Amino acid sequence: MNPESQVTTRGGQLQRVTSPYGIPEGAVPLDRQEVLKVQWTTIRNWKPRSEMWPFIHGASLLASFSALSGAVCNMYFREKFNVQKFGRASTFVPIIVIPAALSMITHQLWVSNTILVDEFSCPLCGQVRAGTIQAILGAVYPCTLAAPLAIVLARRNWTYPVPTITEHRQVLSMLSKTGRPFQLPFLVIFMGQFVMGMAMAKQQQRVFNEKLSAGMLPRDPNDIDRS
């Protein structure tokens, strides 16, 4: 929220009042958490609910995209190191489940909530933040983790000739050999996740501007009810 303004509520409606204008009679000043509570209550009670889909389903959709990317990375490296039949849970949880959960939580906290209290200095700022978070958690994190976890399984189960950690040249050669074919798919995944994050933030900004921001706009002093 603009540090020079105060968000208040009166009759269940949010109003942003620029500090020099004063607070309307009967209005209750709200802090950030209280504003979010009002906004999310409005979203949950909105009819028709389909108009609020970016806020209701947006974070979950991004979590699904992260899980899908994690599954692709996991499948590729498990196949490369011949460990398809070993340790499924040991790679499924950290590469698929955790990135999906983190994507949902971080988007909700650092993007959706920030949009709802109108704290981004520009629309593109919010979209870039959302895209960056999604690209890191939906592409970089799972794909970076997939290779070492598959290597551990391969060494444990003797499914691939894995050099020891002290054989630096052989380790780098192995990583290059197994990872080079995945460079283009990884780039596609990375860019796809970035675009998905930006697109979701843009849809949330659209809904906020069209449906939720009317009371968040600064009020003119002549419009304040002083009766």
Residue 214 reports pLDDT greater than 90: no
Higher per-residue pLDDT: 58 or 30: 58
- Residue that is written with structure tokens 């209280």 in the block: 34
134 near 103, Cβ under 8 Å? yes
Read off the pTM: 0.84
Domain chopping of the chain, boundaries:
49-212
Per-residue pLDDT reduced to its tens digit, 115-127: 999 999 999 999 9
- Average pLDDT over the chain, rounded to an integer: 88
Per-residue pLDDT reduced to its tens digit, 56-89: 999 999 999 999 999 999 999 999 999 999 999 9
CB atoms closer than 10 angstroms to residue 160: 16
Average pLDDT of the residues in 13-25? 59
Who contacts 13 (Cβ-Cβ below 8 Å, separation ≥6)?
Answer: 215
At residue 46, the pLDDT reads 95
Percent of the chain with pLDDT over 90: 77
Q: Identify which of 77, 227, 223 has the alpha carbon closest to the alpha carbon of residue 150.
A: 77
